[in-house]
Amino acid sequence: MSDIGKVRLRLPSRIAAGDVVRARCLVIHPMERVERDRAGRMVDRKYRYIDRVTVTYLGRTVASFDTTQSVSENPVLAFTFTATGPGPLAVTFHDTHGATYEGRAEVRLG
């Protein structure tokens, strides 16, 4: 679990100006499932899972996700953005325990 919060953000190797680019992002996270006791009742505690993901490109939010415990452990998310210029792409994950994890990539045109 020491890798928790590690983010890998992947972009295509070549991006031209104006391309609609597909990016893929993986984050290491347990996305805790609801537990049940022997009687089948839900164990009431504050489960730790990612509930919000935002994608910014050149400082603008291009997409975001609200996520629930029905998303897998170590989630993979993919999205698109229009490459209008060189600059940073950032994906930020927030979990229910208040932790924030970020993956960044530099968009280079050519």
Partner 1 sequence: MAQRRGLTRRAVLGALGAAGVAAAAGVTLAPRAAAARELGRHEPVEAALTRLFGGRAMKDGSGLIELGLPQIAENGASVPVSVEVDAPMTPQRYVRHIYIVADRNRIPVVTRATLTPDSGRAYMAASIRLGETGDVRAIVEQSDGTLLQVRRAVRVTVGGCGG
Q: In the complex, which residues of this chain contact partner 1 (CB under 8 A)?
A: 20-22, 24, 33-36, 42, 51-52, 57, 60-82, 94, 96, 98-100
Shortest Å, Cβ 13 to partner 1: 19
Question: Residues 102, 92: contact at Cβ < 8 Å?
Answer: yes
Shortest Å, Cβ 110 to partner 1: 19
Strand 50-57 to 87-95 pairing? antiparallel
**CA 81 – CA 74 distance, rounded (Å):** 23
**CA 92 – CA 31 distance, rounded (Å):** 15
CA angle (64 as vertex; 4, 22 as ends), nearest 5: 85
**CA 84 – CA 61 distance, rounded (Å):** 14
Shortest Å, Cβ 86 to partner 1: 16
Shortest Å, Cβ 5 to partner 1: 13
